[in-house]
Amino acid sequence: MRPRVLRLTAALGLLVLGGCGWLSDDRGLFVDRRDDYLEAEEGSVVLVPEDLNDESLGDPFPIPPTPEQSDAEFYPFKPPLPDAIYGDDKRESVRIQSLGDRRWLVIPEPPATVWPKVKQFLTDNGVSISAEVPRIGRLDSQWLALDGDGYRDIVRTVLKEAREDDLTVSPLWEERLLIRVEQGIQDRTSEVHLRHQRAPAGLAPAPEDIGALGSASVDAEKEMLAELGAFVAARVAEQTVSMVGQSISTQPKSVMERAPGGVPALRLNLDFDRAWATVGQALSNAEIPVDEADEDNALYAVTVTESTFTGEKQGFFGRMFSFGSDDQALQLRLQPATGADRAYWVQVTDGEGAAIDRELAQQLLVLVREFAG
């Protein structure tokens, strides 16, 4: 019996020495399919004759479409890592953002659902719309005379209070609101910009771009945005989707691109002041330490660690047995994007301005995009 035991023991030993690969490779007892997607091929589409109903062939678990990987040539030896998804509590809230005297609403909904809510806000307050251009998300209210006391709506109340605070305004002047709904910086978000305008009765100025108009009252705009934001946050007409609103230009304000030479770049379709403030706010929201903010040279110097991307801090034993710091000094620099008047690229280099690993650069830029307001 002893020789049999020895032979059995030897066989088991060889099995163990063979490693776990025999148990978990593509030919063993337990097949490891984790990397099968690298060799997957798309099958042909099932064609249903025209005289038959194809509704029953709907996919119960559809895979969302993914953008074409246009920069695959920059990863010749392995597929690029997918962009990380970061959570941000502010994403689900309606809030007012400001930059100097500029203010706008950020709404966690696409323009197609925000557009009808803005129109409903005006309608509920008895304010007619004199012009609308859905292609650019533009709404102009009617000119309002505030010389009576027979109204109780929010819009006229806010405008009247602002007029009473300005002794230079004639009571015969009329007022209106110019509103623009735009795509937000993050996906499936919208921005609502608002201008308050005054003019002598019967002498309304010619239409102008909302961004070029001065503000008749910054305080009135701030209060009106707060009222509009409260209206949207109350989820009034939550399920309404405007077919007209879907035609609003959906050019995103932030896009991951490749700058010349294949360097990852975050494109911000914003003017410099707002692009600079957006990057700074994103770094703050992501709790990334900023060592230097040099606006004259459009440069942020930051320090990142592995926990910057994972959200996990090093434990007690990790700190005790660490043989070096994983802190890494990096720079984020803004520079004008090629072929655009109001757009900037954000690129990442090391602390001396030299190129770094492309995947690390992309990780940091994606994090900035996800935490941007």
DSSP letter assigned to residue 261:
T
User: How many Å apart are CA 288 and CA 193, to the nearest integer?
Assistant: 29
Concatenating the DSSP letter of every residue in 317-344 gives: HHHHT--S---EEEEEEEEEPTT-SS-E
Mean pLDDT of 296-322: 68
Pairing of strands 263-268, 290-294: unpaired
User: How many Å apart are CA 264 and CA 80, to the nearest integer?
Assistant: 12
pLDDT of residue 270: 92
Confidence of residue 271 (pLDDT cuts 50, 70, 90): very high
Cβ neighbours of residue 286 under 8 Å, at least 6 residues apart? 86, 308, 367, 368, 371
Task: Give the total residue count for the chain.
Answer: 373
User: How many Å apart are CA 82 and CA 363, to the nearest integer?
Assistant: 9
pLDDT of residue 317: 40
Per-residue pLDDT reduced to its tens digit, 34-50: 667 667 777 777 787 88
User: Who has greater pLDDT, 211 or 370?
Assistant: 370
Per-residue pLDDT reduced to its tens digit, 206-224: 655 555 556 778 889 999 9
For the chain, helix, strand, coil in percent to 5 are 35, 20, 45
Residue 370 structure tokens: 């996800």
Q: Which of 7-16, 108-117, 273-282 has the lowest mean pLDDT?
A: 7-16
pLDDT of residue 17: 47
